[in-house]
Amino acid sequence: MINSPEILRLIERNSLFHGIPRELLEPIFRIGKLVTLMPGEKLLSPGVINEYVFIIISGTLSVQNTPSLSVKPIAKLTSGECIGEMSVIICSLVAAYVIATTSCELFAIDYFSFWSLIDSSNEAERNILFIMVRRIRHSNEVMADRLIHFVNSRQ
């Protein structure tokens, strides 16, 4: 159980939990666990099963195509954002590396608690839809930029 009022406030302000009544969140706060990562430590790796949605409490995570932080990241995620939701939602293997670029503290929500929240809250459904659409749009922008760079480099 999360006992820190500051951590609870950070988690509640996360875009996944926006507008969800506290009574629906309390079971998640009791079951969820804190995860600590050191810089360079991998949270997720391609081809691995992920059973958690992680809320970043502090620190920065890098989403990478390779396990090297020297390559330009697909995305950088910071406090208040979530990660792991895509692989949990579609029950698939992780598609990218997620690596701590700083010391990080995360709140982990297991698969069943996550789906219980989605099933019991229209707000949670809307919130995860918004998060997913934002991620897809960002991915499209990254691919378009890379395509433009590739085309320009060939001319």
Number of domains in the chain: 1
Distance CA 74, CA 92 (A): 19
Distance CA 51, CA 91 (A): 9
pTM of the model: 0.84
Band (pLDDT 50/70/90 cuts) for residue 2 is low
CATH of the domain at 25: 2.60.120.10
Distance CA 43, CA 63 (A): 10
pLDDT in tens, 102-135: 999 999 999 999 999 999 988 988 988 888 888 7
| Domain ranges, residue 62 | 5-154
Helix, coil or strand: residue 118? helix
Strand-pairing partners, residue 53, are 109
119 or 4, greater pLDDT: 119
138: CB partners within 8 A, 6+ apart = 75
124 or 155, greater pLDDT: 124
102 or 12, greater pLDDT: 102
Given a cut of 80, is residue 142 above it in pLDDT?
A: no
1: CB partners within 8 A, 6+ apart = 29, 30
Distance CA 105, CA 47 (A): 24
